[in-house]
Chains A and B, each alone.
Chain A
Amino acid sequence: MTNSKLTETLTFECETGNYHTFCPISCVAWLYQKIEDSFFLVIGTKTCGYFLQNALGVMIFAEPRYAMAELEEADISAQLNDYKELKRLCLQIKQDRNPSVIVWIGTCTTEIIKMDLEGMAPRLEAEIQTPIVVARANGLDYAFTQGEDTVLAAMVQRCPSNAPEQNQIEKKSLVLFGSLPTNVATQLNLELERCGIQVAGWLPSQRYADLPVLNQNVYVCGINPFLSRTATTLMRRRKCKLISAPFPIGPDGTRAWLEKICSVFNVAPINLIERERLIWDSLEDYITLLRGKSVFFMGDNLLEISLARFLVRCGMIVYEIGIPYLDKRFQSAELQLLEKTCSEMNVAMPRIVEKPDNYNQIQRIRELQPDLAITGMAHANPLEARGINTKWSVEFTFAQIHGFTNARDILELVTRPLRRNKALENLGWNQLVKM
Chain B
Amino acid sequence: MKLAYWMYAGPAHIGTLRVASSFKNVHAIMHAPLGDDYFNVMRSMLERERDFTPVTASIVDRHVLARGSQEKVIENITRKDKEENPDLIILTPTCTSSILQEDLQNFVNRAGLDSKSDVILADVNHYRVNELQAADRTLEQIIRFYLEKARSESNKPLRKTEKPSANILGIFTLGFHNQHDCRELRRLLTDLGIVINQILPEGGSVTNINELPKAWFNLIPYREVGLMAANYLQNEYDMPYVAVTPMGLLDTENCIREIVDIVKSSDTSYNFDFETYIDTQTRFISQAAWFSRSIDCQNLTGKKAVVFGDATHAASITKILAREMGIRVSCSGTYCKHDADWFREQVDGFCDEVLITDDHTQVADMIARIEPAAIFGTQMERHIGKRLDIPCGVISAPVHIQNFPLGFRPFLGYEGTNQISDLVYNSFTLGMEDHLLEIFGGHDTKEVITKSLSTDSDLAWAPEALTELQRIPGFVRGKIKRNTEKFAREKNCNLITLEIMFAAKEAVGA
Residue interface mask A400-433, B partner, CB < 8 A = 1: 0000000000000000000000000000000011
B439 located at the interface, meaning its Cβ lies under 8 Å from any Cβ of chain A in the complex: no
Contact B127–A24 (Cβ < 8 Å): no
Which residue on B lies nearest to A92, using beta carbons?
Answer: B3
Contact B34–A143 (Cβ < 8 Å): yes
Contact A378–B40 (Cβ < 8 Å): yes
Contact B1–A45 (Cβ < 8 Å): no
A141 to chain B, nearest CB (A): 6
Contacts of A279 in B (CB 8 A): none
A395 located at the interface, meaning its Cβ lies under 8 Å from any Cβ of chain B in the complex: no
A120 located at the interface, meaning its Cβ lies under 8 Å from any Cβ of chain B in the complex: no
Residue interface mask A40-70, B partner, CB < 8 A = 1: 0001011101110111010011001001111
A22 located at the interface, meaning its Cβ lies under 8 Å from any Cβ of chain B in the complex: yes
Residue interface mask A255-273, B partner, CB < 8 A = 1: 0000000000000000000
A169 located at the interface, meaning its Cβ lies under 8 Å from any Cβ of chain B in the complex: no
A140 located at the interface, meaning its Cβ lies under 8 Å from any Cβ of chain B in the complex: yes
Q: Which of B60-68, B141-149, B156-164, B316-324 makes up part of the contact surface? A: B60-68
Q: A45-B126, A376-B41 are in contact. Are A139 and B33 (CB under 8 A)?
A: yes
Contact B13–A70 (Cβ < 8 Å): no
B238 to chain A, nearest CB (A): 38
User: How many A-B contacts if CB must be within 8 Å?
Assistant: 158
Which residue on B lies nearest to A42, using beta carbons?
Answer: B4
Q: Which B55-111 residues sit within 8 Å CB-CB of chain A? A: 56-62, 65, 76, 83, 94-96, 99-100
A392 to chain B, nearest CB (A): 9
A209 located at the interface, meaning its Cβ lies under 8 Å from any Cβ of chain B in the complex: no
B17 to chain A, nearest CB (A): 12
Chain B: how many interface residues by the 8 Å CB criterion? 51
Q: Which of B45-53, B218-226, B256-264 makes up part of the contact surface? A: B45-53
Contact B35–A23 (Cβ < 8 Å): yes
Which residue on B lies nearest to A71, using beta carbons?
Answer: B1
Which residue on B lies nearest to A433, using beta carbons?
Answer: B50
A378 to chain B, nearest CB (A): 4
B35: which of A22, A76, A432 is its contact (CB, 8 Å)? A22
Contact B50–A68 (Cβ < 8 Å): no
A72 located at the interface, meaning its Cβ lies under 8 Å from any Cβ of chain B in the complex: yes
B348 located at the interface, meaning its Cβ lies under 8 Å from any Cβ of chain A in the complex: no
A68 and B32 CA atoms in complex are apart in Å by: 19
B128 located at the interface, meaning its Cβ lies under 8 Å from any Cβ of chain A in the complex: yes
Contacts of A284 in B (CB 8 A): none
Q: Which of A150-158, A200-208, A337-345, A380-388 makes up part of the contact surface? A: A380-388
B44 located at the interface, meaning its Cβ lies under 8 Å from any Cβ of chain A in the complex: yes
A126 located at the interface, meaning its Cβ lies under 8 Å from any Cβ of chain B in the complex: no
Q: Which of A105-113, A291-299, A310-318 makes up part of the contact surface? A: A105-113
B125 to chain A, nearest CB (A): 9
Contact B3–A47 (Cβ < 8 Å): no
B213 located at the interface, meaning its Cβ lies under 8 Å from any Cβ of chain A in the complex: no
Besides A359-B83, A381-B44, 14 other CB < 8 A contacts? A21-B34, A21-B35, A23-B36, A57-B400, A68-B4, A69-B4, A72-B1, A75-B1, A139-B33, A143-B35, A379-B44, A381-B48, A382-B50, A382-B52
B85 to chain A, nearest CB (A): 14
Q: A51-B38, A140-B61, A378-B41 are in contact. Are A67 and B3 (CB under 8 A)?
A: yes
A380 and B4 CA atoms in complex are apart in Å by: 31
Contact A378–B44 (Cβ < 8 Å): yes
